[in-house]
Protein backbone atom coordinates (compact mmCIF):
# COMPACT_ATOMS: atom_id res chain seq x y z
CA UNK A 1 0.00 0.00 0.00
CA UNK A 2 1.34 3.38 -0.92
CA UNK A 3 1.34 6.05 1.71
CA UNK A 4 0.65 9.40 0.14
CA UNK A 5 2.81 12.02 1.78
CA UNK A 6 1.52 15.58 2.00
CA UNK A 7 3.32 17.77 -0.48
CA UNK A 8 6.10 19.85 0.98
CA UNK A 9 4.94 23.43 1.16
CA UNK A 10 7.97 25.05 -0.50
CA UNK A 11 9.29 27.62 0.42
CA UNK A 12 7.58 27.33 3.82
CA UNK A 13 8.79 23.78 4.43
CA UNK A 14 11.93 22.91 6.45
CA UNK A 15 13.76 22.02 3.22
CA UNK A 16 13.90 25.62 2.05
CA UNK A 17 16.07 27.24 4.78
CA UNK A 18 18.13 24.06 4.84
CA UNK A 19 18.67 24.25 1.10
CA UNK A 20 19.62 27.95 1.23
CA UNK A 21 22.03 27.24 4.07
CA UNK A 22 23.73 24.29 2.39
CA UNK A 23 23.81 25.93 -1.01
CA UNK A 24 25.98 28.72 0.43
CA UNK A 25 27.97 26.30 2.57
CA UNK A 26 28.83 23.97 -0.29
CA UNK A 27 30.03 26.96 -2.31
CA UNK A 28 32.21 28.03 0.59
CA UNK A 29 33.56 24.51 1.14
CA UNK A 30 34.50 24.18 -2.49
CA UNK A 31 35.96 27.67 -2.77
CA UNK A 32 38.13 27.52 0.32
CA UNK A 33 39.05 23.86 0.66
CA UNK A 34 40.92 23.04 3.85
CA UNK A 35 42.03 19.78 5.36
CA UNK A 36 38.77 19.69 7.26
CA UNK A 37 36.58 20.39 4.26
CA UNK A 38 36.26 16.75 3.22
CA UNK A 39 35.33 15.75 6.74
CA UNK A 40 32.77 18.55 7.09
CA UNK A 41 31.20 17.61 3.78
CA UNK A 42 31.12 13.97 4.82
CA UNK A 43 29.40 14.84 8.10
CA UNK A 44 26.68 16.80 6.30
CA UNK A 45 26.13 14.40 3.40
CA UNK A 46 23.27 12.46 4.98
CA UNK A 47 21.36 15.61 5.91
CA UNK A 48 21.77 17.01 2.41
CA UNK A 49 20.81 13.69 0.83
CA UNK A 50 17.63 13.37 2.90
CA UNK A 51 16.76 17.00 2.16
CA UNK A 52 17.19 16.46 -1.60
CA UNK A 53 15.16 13.26 -1.38
CA UNK A 54 12.28 15.13 0.29
CA UNK A 55 12.52 17.89 -2.30
CA UNK A 56 12.57 15.49 -5.23
CA UNK A 57 9.59 13.47 -3.97
CA UNK A 58 7.38 15.81 -1.97
CA UNK A 59 8.00 19.36 -3.09
CA UNK A 60 4.92 21.02 -4.53
CA UNK A 61 7.02 23.10 -6.98
CA UNK A 62 7.80 21.05 -10.06
CA UNK A 63 11.05 22.90 -10.87
CA UNK A 64 12.40 22.24 -7.40
CA UNK A 65 11.42 18.57 -7.64
CA UNK A 66 13.19 18.26 -10.98
CA UNK A 67 16.28 20.12 -9.79
CA UNK A 68 16.61 17.92 -6.70
CA UNK A 69 16.07 14.78 -8.78
CA UNK A 70 18.89 15.84 -11.11
CA UNK A 71 21.19 16.62 -8.18
CA UNK A 72 20.52 13.17 -6.74
CA UNK A 73 21.79 11.57 -9.97
CA UNK A 74 25.33 12.71 -9.12
CA UNK A 75 27.62 9.76 -8.36
CA UNK A 76 28.57 11.46 -5.08
CA UNK A 77 25.35 9.96 -3.62
CA UNK A 78 25.98 6.37 -4.76
CA UNK A 79 27.13 5.08 -1.37
CA UNK A 80 24.33 6.77 0.54
CA UNK A 81 21.78 5.49 -1.96
CA UNK A 82 22.78 1.94 -1.00
CA UNK A 83 22.24 2.74 2.68
CA UNK A 84 19.07 4.82 2.26
CA UNK A 85 17.24 3.72 -0.88
CA UNK A 86 14.68 6.21 -2.11
ZN1 LIG B 1 10.66 18.93 2.23
User: pTM of the predicted model, to two decimals?
Assistant: 0.80
Residue 64 CA, ligand 1 centroid: distance in Å: 10
Beta-carbon count within 10 A of 47 CB: 11
Ligand 1 centroid distance, CA of 13 (Å): 6
What residues are neighbours of ligand 1 (ion), with CB under 5 Å?
Answer: 8, 13, 15, 54
Give residue 3's pLDDT. Answer: 52
Residue pLDDT, tens place only, 24-71:
988 888 888 787 888 888 889 999 999 999 999 999 999 999 999 999
CB 85 within 8 A of CB 31: no
The alpha carbon of 84 and the centre of ligand 1 are apart by a number of angstroms equal to 16
Which pLDDT score is estimated for 65? Answer: 94
Task: Spell 12-33 as b/e; 16+ CB within 10 A means b.
Answer: ebebbebbeebeeeeeebeeee
Q: What are the sequence ranges of the domains in the chain?
A: 15-83
Amino acid sequence: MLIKLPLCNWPKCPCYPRYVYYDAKIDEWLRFPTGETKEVIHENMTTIYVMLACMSQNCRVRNIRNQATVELLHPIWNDLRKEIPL
